[in-house]
Amino acid sequence: MAETKIRDFMKYLEEGKVAGTRCKKCQKVHFPPRADCDSCLSSEMDWVELSGKCKLVTYTTVHFAPVSFRYDVPYILAVAQLEEGPMVFAPISRDIKEDEVKVGMSLNLTPVKIVGGKVMYELRKP
């Protein structure tokens, strides 16, 4: 994540915040965060903290994984829509069982520390 203009995203995540960027010119909110607005081409952005509240759009349980994920199967990957508008691609927390997962359910995009001290995010029960 060092080699990107939006590297501050990691700092916010480490503080327990999920942040997007909002274009100063046209107000479009971007998640994942972008340094440059695809709508109006401005490169002037503000960081905005997102609530994390979202609704499940679709998902799948992965049973056959890339080599580096082979010990994690099965895991559930999902697409959810944040209440601010943008969508997010993230795993569903292991606290939620596969038969509990329903399209349209409310979830919370939450920062999470994983093995090795790395910070990512996942979808948890609100």
Q: Give the type of residue at 60.
A: T
Quick one: which of 29, 57, 96, 119 contacts another protein (CB under 8 A)? 57
Task: Show the binding pattern over residues 1-40: x = contacts another protein (CB under 8 A), - = does not.
Answer: ---x--------------------------xx--------
70 binds another protein (CB under 8 A): yes
The first and second tokens of residue 60, run together, are 């799948």
Interface region with another protein, contact rule CB under 8 A, candidates 10-18, 21-29, 45-53, 80-88 = 80-88
Q: 124: buried, middle or exposed (CB in 10 Å: 19+, 13-18, 0-12)?
A: middle
d(CA 55, CA 52): 10
